[in-house]
Amino acid sequence: MKTLDWIVLIGTLSFIVIYGVWKTRGSKNIEGYLKGDNTMKWWTIGLSIMATQASAITFLSAPGQAYDDGMRFVQFYFGLPIAMVILSITVVPIYHKLKVYTAYEYLENRFDLKTRVLTAILFLTQRGLAAGFTIFAPSLILSTLLGWNIYYTNLVIGLMVIIYTVSGGTKAVAQTQKYQMGVILLGMVAAGILVVKLMPENVGFVDALEIAGKTGRLNVVDLEFDPTSKYNIWSGLIGGGFLALSYFGTDQSQVARYLTGSSIGQSRLGLLFNGIIKIPMQFFILLIGALVYVFYIFQPAPLFFNNVIEERTIQSEVGAEYLDKKERYDNINTEKRQYAIGYLEALDEGNDLEAKKKVQALQQADKKSKAVKKEALSVIEKADPNADTNDTNFIFLTFVINYLPAGLVGLIIAVIFSASMSSTSSELNALASTTIVDIYKRLYKKNASERHYLNASKVFTMFWGVYAILFAMYANRLGTLIEAVNKLGSLVYGTILGVFLVAFYMKNIKARETFIAAIISESIILLCFFFTDIPFLWYNVIGSLIVLIVAYLLKILRPDSNITSNN
């Protein structure tokens, strides 16, 4: 990184932290610290919701996924707008009417204490680990590509978040996320424009889309119903829809964002804003990855984007074998370049027959390059059986570091830091809220003063921040980062959503049936994870349906049950 990059990076991050501390100083009670005194407007809520979901993993992994696999990952979000409408109609009024601090507080009103505590513990377990992921993911990539010390990078990200989140609570999270989203959008738009500008002079934006489409990188929609496929329109609408209902309706890191709304209408508008903007934003991020793929057709493309592992392989006893694969890959890439140029020339000349021949040749060359890369990954595993052979997370940042001008490199790295900080701050705030309201205040210290709970909230925020940093320090292989985080959430979201669906819509089912159904559901989901190949998006559907069905069956088997809820 050049001096200008450091100035942009340090200046951007310093402004966000200082602004967050200054703007939200002086919380007097737990209401202000955890709910922002219910003063937030819809645009702040909407941007905060988006910033919470759009972690650094989104901007590191998503372009790489499009580079390798095309844009079909966007289908993951197709169920989100529907979920936002459902939550706006049903869930938001309930939370506002009851004036709850957390989503799980409602469950004690509807069922009993043990159901509330169970869902809170499931959330704390999953979200505590996820907070470590959101710190570790960018640190891993930045340390590998820039040579930074991964432990110092973890520490810097974690401490910056702790400073303003402990200081200002929910208000600090919401206020800083507005500017973090601004930095993120500015950086990604700049990267998208420059990847097109850096193409050869005779290759424009439309030409790049033509090549991306013909090589399968614009595979946005797959209409085939295939339960074994991770990403198609059905897994997106059904599995992704259930995941969105659970994440935005029951995960405190998101619920806390719209609980700060000054009214039901403001909270609803914030959710609907997210439902409208999220898919186009994710489409654009994936499109950048597809364009980076086209860019590397016209430039020397790395065989493996994690240069540390690649260099280690070259220095090993199988180095000659790897270099042979690399030479073959480079030769195929040269062929792809020639076929792509020939295809565009044939299009300009209106020669459809020649264009078709060049496309077929380009597609065959693309298949050959994938086959050679697969062989190269086997060589890497020979050199080091424990090596992570998934380089998806390194693709976009490799392009940024090697080809973007000074200043913009610093801005993109600021994007990654900002995204990590925005997600982590929401997670720490939500973890502290759930710990203080659902565990500490409810079970251990029921009648303390407002000042005591405010100080305890800050202590728990700091505790979870340190916990996340420690997890990040000791985390190692994560595979595809964006999938790792969603898999982790899917292990518990289905069960939690099922409990809330029973609470909202099955009023005759009581606490005992729901609690037993939740335990059974979570056990089955863990069995599916460890012993089956079911794609993770379906865990959300399976978990929810098991809770609903088992709770209903238990009610039928015990029609004269004297167990009543607290409602």
Residues 430, 142 contacting (CB under 8 angstroms): no
238 has a pLDDT exceeding 70 = yes
Distance CA 26, CA 37 (A): 12
Distance CA 503, CA 501 (A): 5
Please work out, in degrees rounded to the nearest 5, the angle formed at the alpha carbon of residue 372 by the alpha carbons of 369 and 377: 125
448 has a pLDDT exceeding 80 = yes
Q: Over the stretch 22-33, which tens digit does the pLDDT of each residue have?
A: 765 656 666 666
Distance CA 443, CA 431 (A): 16
Asked: is 3-296+399-557 a CATH 1.20.1730.10 domain? The reply is yes
Mean pLDDT value of segment 313-323: 93
Distance CA 114, CA 123 (A): 14
Residue 547: which pLDDT band, with cuts at 50, 70 and 90?
very high
13 has a pLDDT exceeding 50 = yes
Pull the structure tokens for residue 489.
């959430």
Mean pLDDT, the chain, rounded, equals 85
Beta strands in 97-177 (DSSP E): none
pLDDT at 479: 46
**Terminal Cα distance for the chain, rounded:** 59
**Helices in 147-224 by DSSP H: which ranges?**
150-197, 205-214
pLDDT at 202: 87
299-303 CB contacts, 8 Å cutoff, 24+ apart: 299/403, 300/330, 300/333, 301/329, 301/333, 302/398, 303/329, 303/330, 303/372, 303/373, 303/376
pLDDT at 23: 62
Phi-psi region of 100 (alpha: psi -120 to 50; beta: other; left: phi over 0): beta
* Helix-helix angle 408-434:56-69, to 10 degrees: 120
82 has a pLDDT exceeding 90 = yes
Mean pLDDT value of segment 292-305: 93
Residues 492, 546 contacting (CB under 8 angstroms): no
Residue 4 phi, psi dihedral angles, 5° rounding:
-60, -35
Q: Which of 160-169, 198-207, 231-240, 424-433 has the highest mean pLDDT?
A: 198-207
330 has a pLDDT exceeding 70 = yes
Please work out, in degrees rounded to the nearest 5, the angle formed at the alpha carbon of residue 494 by the alpha carbons of 492 and 499: 100
Least confident of 135-139, 211-215, 294-298: 135-139
Distance CA 231, CA 181 (A): 27
Distance CA 559, CA 551 (A): 12
pLDDT at 365: 94
331 has a pLDDT exceeding 80 = yes
pTM (two decimals): 0.80
Pull the structure tokens for residue 81.
């707008």
% residues pLDDT > 90 (the chain): 37
Mean pLDDT value of segment 57-80: 87
Residues 57, 485 contacting (CB under 8 angstroms): yes
Q: Over the stretch 513-522, which tens digit does the pLDDT of each residue have?
A: 999 999 999 9
Element (H, E) at 220: none
Q: Over the stretch 187-233, which tens digit does the pLDDT of each residue have?
A: 888 889 999 999 998 889 999 999 999 998 998 888 888 777 778 88
Per-residue b or e along 85-102, where b marks 16 or more CB atoms closer than 10 Å to that residue's CB:
ebbbeebbebbbeeebbb
Please work out, in degrees rounded to the nearest 5, the angle formed at the alpha carbon of residue 181 by the alpha carbons of 177 and 182: 120
Mean pLDDT value of segment 156-168: 82
Mean pLDDT value of segment 367-391: 90
Distance CA 103, CA 490 (A): 18
pLDDT at 24: 58
483 has a pLDDT exceeding 80 = no
Please work out, in degrees rounded to the nearest 5, the angle formed at the alpha carbon of residue 331 by the alpha carbons of 330 and 337: 90
Q: Which residues contact 147 (CB under 8 A, 6 or more apart)?
A: none
pLDDT at 35: 66
Instruction: Centre a 10 Å sphere on the Cβ of residue 116 and count the other Cβ atoms it contains.
Output: 26
Residue 342: which pLDDT band, with cuts at 50, 70 and 90?
very high
Distance CA 177, CA 43 (A): 11
Mean pLDDT value of segment 358-368: 93
Distance CA 19, CA 493 (A): 34
- Rg (alpha carbons) of the chain, rounded to whole number: 25
Question: With the C-alpha atoms ordered 236, 423, 137, 471, is the resulting torsion angle positive or negative?
Answer: negative
Residue 484: which pLDDT band, with cuts at 50, 70 and 90?
low
Distance CA 383, CA 394 (A): 20
